[in-house]
C-alpha cells in the first residue's frame, strides 16, 4: 500500500485561502488504510478548515467528497459535478492520484493535501512501515524476501556496513540491521550461496533515462 501523511493544517490553509469554493477530495484505497486520505479524513479536514475560515474571517464554502481511487478514470464519473463546482480541489490522495486528477482537469487548481511517503505494510493497527523502494529490479528471491534497498538505512546492496553491531543498525538500537536478517534467513533456508548471485548495483543516474517509467500490457490496450 502507498503510505502518506497529511500536510500541516496551516500549510493547507495557505494553499486554499485565496479560493471561495473548495472541495476536499478523498481517495478510498491506499491512503485511506493509513487513515490519512479517505472520505472520513476528508470530512474531518473540511470541518477543521471551515473553523479556520471562520476564525480568519474568510468567506469560503468548503465541501468534502471522495472516490474509490484517484488513479483510475472509471471512478471519477460520480465526482464530476463536485469537482466542476469547486474553484480548487484539495486532493488527499497519493502523489499519483493528485497528478491524475490535475491532468483530467487541467484548468482547475488541484492542490496536494498529503505528502506521499513510501510503499509499506500495516505492521499493526496504527503502525505502517516501509517495505519497497520501487527500484524496478527486484532481488527478493536472492535475499529471502527482505529488501535491502528499502530497509537498510544506507540502501546497501551487497552486505552490511561496518557500523552494524549485534544485529542492530548504527542509527538506532531500535532498528534491526536488514543485512543481519537477510544472512540469517539464507542460512535457515540453506541457500547462503544466493547472496553471491546478487547483480551489480544499478546506475541510479541513468535508470530514469527516457522520462517517467511506463508499464504497458498490449493485451489489455483499448
What's the pLDDT tens digit per position in 55-113?
999 999 999 999 999 999 999 999 999 999 999 999 999 999 999 999 999 999 999 99
What residue ranges do the domains of the chain occupy? Answer: 2-118, 136-197
What is the pTM (predicted TM-score) of this model?
A: 0.84
Per-residue confidence (pLDDT) for residue 202, from 0 to 100 = 66
> What cell was used for 162?
561496518
Q: Which are the contacts of 120, defined by CB distance < 8 A and separation ≥ 6?
A: 1, 3, 128, 129, 130, 131, 132
Q: Do 191 and 142 form a contact (C-beta atoms < 8 A)? A: no
Per-residue confidence (pLDDT) for residue 158, from 0 to 100 = 86
Architecture of the domain made up of 2-118:
3-Layer(aba) Sandwich (3.40)
Amino acid at each position: 500500500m502507498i503510505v502518506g501523511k497529511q500536510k500541516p493544517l496551516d500549510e493547507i490553509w495557505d494553499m486554499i485561502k485565496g479560493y471561495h469554493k473548495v472541495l476536499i477530495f478523498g481517495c478510498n484505497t491506499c491512503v485511506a488504510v493509513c487513515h490519512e486520505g479517505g472520505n472520513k479524513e476528508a470530512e474531518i479536514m473540511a470541518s477543521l478548515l471551515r473553523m479556520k475560515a471562520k476564525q480568519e474571517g474568510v468567506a469560503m464554502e468548503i465541501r468534502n467528497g471522495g472516490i474509490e481511487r484517484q488513479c483510475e478514470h472509471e471512478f471519477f464519473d460520480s465526482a464530476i459535478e463536485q469537482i466542476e463546482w469547486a474553484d480548487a480541489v484539495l486532493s488527499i490522495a497519493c502523489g499519483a492520484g493528485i497528478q491524475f486528477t490535475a491532468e483530467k482537469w487541467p484548468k482547475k487548481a488541484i492542490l496536494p493535501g498529503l505528502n506521499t511517503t513510501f510503499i509499506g505494510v500495516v505492521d499493526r493497527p496504527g503502525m505502517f512501515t516501509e517495505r519497497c523502494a520501487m527500484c524496478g529490479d527486484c532481488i527478493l528471491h536472492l535475499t529471502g524476501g527482505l529488501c535491502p534497498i528499502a530497509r537498510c538505512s544506507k540502501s546497501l546492496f551487497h552486505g552490511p556496513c561496518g557500523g552494524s553491531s549485534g544485529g542492530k543498525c548504527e542509527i538506532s538500537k531500535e532498528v534491526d540491521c536488514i543485512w543481519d536478517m537477510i544472512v540469517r534467513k539464507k542460512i535457515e533456508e540453506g541457500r547462503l550461496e544466493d547472496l553471491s548471485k546478487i547483480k551489480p548495483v544499478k546506475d541510479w543516474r541513468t535508470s530514469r533515462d527516457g522520462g517517467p517509467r511506463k508499464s504497458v500490457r498490449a493485451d489489455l490496450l483499448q
